[in-house]
Every structure is written in structure tokens, then in C-alpha cells.
Amino acid sequence: MAGAPEVRIFDDAQDLAREAADLFVWLAGQAISGDGRFRVALSGGSTPKAIHAMLAGPAFASQLDWRRVEFYFGDERCVPPDHGESNYGMANATLFQPLRINPDQIFRMAGEAGDPAQTARDYEALLRARFRSPAPARPRFDLVLLGMGDDGHTASLFPGTAALAERHRLVVATQSPRGIVNRLTLTAPLINQSHAVLFLVAGASKAVATQAVLEGRNVDPGRFPARLIRPEQGRLIWFLDRAAAAELTTAKQRVVSHEE
Ligand code: 6PG
């Protein structure tokens, strides 16, 4: 049964990034001490860049045995890995290179391949093999990092798309209404198997969608796909800055200040 989301609100995006890095390291330590590795799916977009910089920086880089971390992706644009819009490319520049992560620990979606549907099937097969999780079981990530667009999309689960209704596949090809059209994304049923899902959402443009997703009544998840993300047994955590939390009821407006 899905638990209530844990919502924390920070003064600004920098505080959010620091606390997110701290939680990342803590979750990783738990997983590594449990079964010797930490398997995380990274998010695309721009918000994660600050968290990546924090993790690769002096405050956190030495707090983790990075050789025990396996990096996967929640979604990818169908572009080459060195393209400016590649989620892998962003993670490589902001996290993998600075931490000198061994490429053997990185499992990217081949956005450059010509057939997105086949690439989705290939990535699904990779996940099942890596997690030793044959169908109909679903792999369980230790952590899935997610962002949210101002339209309430998350990963590449966009409003009104067929991907939202997918109940069996782990990975599908889909399309975005903006930017790079062809995308690959983990599906909601897979994300909801995770031990922990951490949404990182900052900026005033996200405030309306954040309120709809966290507090909306009778809101159609087809309009705000982030509402589909409710881990069945795992933790659901939302880190927000004040601007993104501005439309939430005061009950949630407990801001984590610098002192805490
Ligand atoms: C992507 C992401 C996407 C992102 C949101 C928020 O590939 O773009 O997976 O879901 O998290 O669009 O993006 P920002 O962090 O740039 O606001």
C-alpha cells in the first residue's frame, strides 16, 4: 500500500540540492551495506545538475564508494550521447566525468539508435538481466530520481500519451509535445516498484502542477502524470523549493531552514 508522500520545502534550490545529495548518499550507504551495491535511475532536465555538482563536490564525493553505484536512466531523448539535449550527456558532464565513474557502471538508453521501440525493448531486457528479474516480476531500483515539468510530466511520461496507460512494459518509446520529440521512458509500474522515489522540483513555474499532484482532488493523472508515481512499498519523497511549493496549503509550508 502506497504511503503518503514525504514533502520537504527548502529556502532555495541550493539548499534543496545539498539536502538531496545528503539523502542520496544516505540511501546509497544503506543499499551498499545491505547488498553491496546501489542502483539508481537518474533524471534528465536541468534541476539535477545542481545535485550532481554537489555529489561530485568536496562535501560529498568522498562519502561514498562510487565503485558500488550502478547508474541507470529514467528517460532519454532520442539523440546521440554527446548531443546537448542528451540526459546521458548531461549526467556524464556533471557527474560521471567529475567522479571518474567507470563506464562499466553506467547503463544508458541508446537514444541514438534508429528504432526507439526496439531500443525500449533492449533497455527493458537489460534491466531484467541486470536485476535478475524475469517477467512478470519487476526490477526494484534503490532510488529513482525524478523531476517534473510545469505540465506535470515526469520522466518522459507526458500528459495524454499512451505511455501513461502502460501496465506491463518496463520501458517504452513515446513522444514529447515540446523539444526533442522522440523519447524513451521507464513506465509508472516500474518506477512504482522502487525502494525510494525522490522528486526534485524547483521554480515558480512548477507551483500549479505541484499543488495539483500533491493536493489535487479528483485530478486526472492523464493531465498530471506525476500523480501516477506512488511507490507500492517504497518511499515517495518530494523536495521542493519555496517557489515550487507556493500553491500548497500552509500545512505543508514547513520550510527546512538553514539551521535545521
Ligand atoms: C527530461 C526529464 C524531465 C524533467 C522535467 C523537469 O528528460 O527532461 O526527465 O522529466 O525532469 O522536464 O525538467 P527541469 O529540471 O529542466 O525543470
pLDDT digits (tens, 9 = 90+) for 53-92: 999 999 999 999 999 999 999 999 999 999 999 999 999 9
Q: How far apart are CA 251 and CA 71, in angstroms?
A: 36
Mean of the pLDDT values across residues 96-119? 98
Is this model's pTM higher than 0.85 or not?
yes
Could you identify the atom of ligand 1 that is nearest to the CA of residue 76?
7
Q: Which residue has the higher pLDDT, 259 or 189?
A: 189
Closest CA to 59 of 88, 110, 25: 25
Q: In this structure, which residue's CA is closest to atom 13 in ligand 1?
A: 45
Q: What is the pLDDT of residue 250?
A: 67
Across residues 213-231, what is the average pLDDT? 94
pLDDT tens digits for range 45-55: 999 999 999 99
Cell of 139: 526490477
The stretches of the chain forming alpha helices (DSSP H) are 13-35, 48-56, 87-91, 116-130, 188-191, 207-215
Mean pLDDT of the region 205-228: 95
Residue-range domains of the chain with CATH: 6-232 (3.40.50.1360)
- pLDDT-derived band at 221, boundaries 50, 70, 90: confident
Mean pLDDT of 235-254: 87
Choose which residue among 42, 43, 87 to substitute to test ligand 1 binding: the one with the highest number of ligand atoms within 8 A of its C-beta. 43
Mean residue pLDDT of the chain comes to 95
> What is the greatest pairwise CA distance in the chain?
51
Give the three cell numbers for residue 36: 553491496
Predicted confidence at residue 255, as pLDDT, reads 64
Q: How far is CA 4 from CA 122, 129, 144, 190, 246, in A?
A: 34, 32, 17, 19, 20
Q: Write the pLDDT tens digit of every residue in 171-184.
A: 999 999 999 999 99
What is the rounded CA–CA span in Å between residue 104 and residue 205? 37
The pLDDT confidence band at residue 258, using thresholds 50, 70 and 90, is very low
**Ligand 1 atom with the shortest distance to the CA of 77:** 7
- Can you tell me the mean pLDDT for 10-14? 92
Nearest CA to ligand 1 atom 2: 44
User: Which string of DSSP letters, residue by residue, matches 215-245?
Assistant: H-SS--TTTSGGGG---SSSEEEEEEETTTT
* Other beta carbons within 10 Å of 135: 10
Q: Residue whose CA is closest, atom 12 of ligand 1?
A: 149
For residue 1, is pLDDT > 80? no
Is the pLDDT score of 203 beyond 60?
yes
Model confidence at 260: pLDDT above 50 = no
Residue 3: the pLDDT is 77
Pocket perturbation via mutation, ligand 1, pick of 75, 85, 171 by most ligand atoms within 8 A of CB? 75
- Residues 99, 255: Cα–Cα separation, whole Å: 31
Strands 182-186 and 171-175: antiparallel
| CA 34 to ligand 1 center in whole angstroms | 31
Residues with CB under 6 A from ligand 1: 43-47, 74-75, 87, 147-149, 153-156
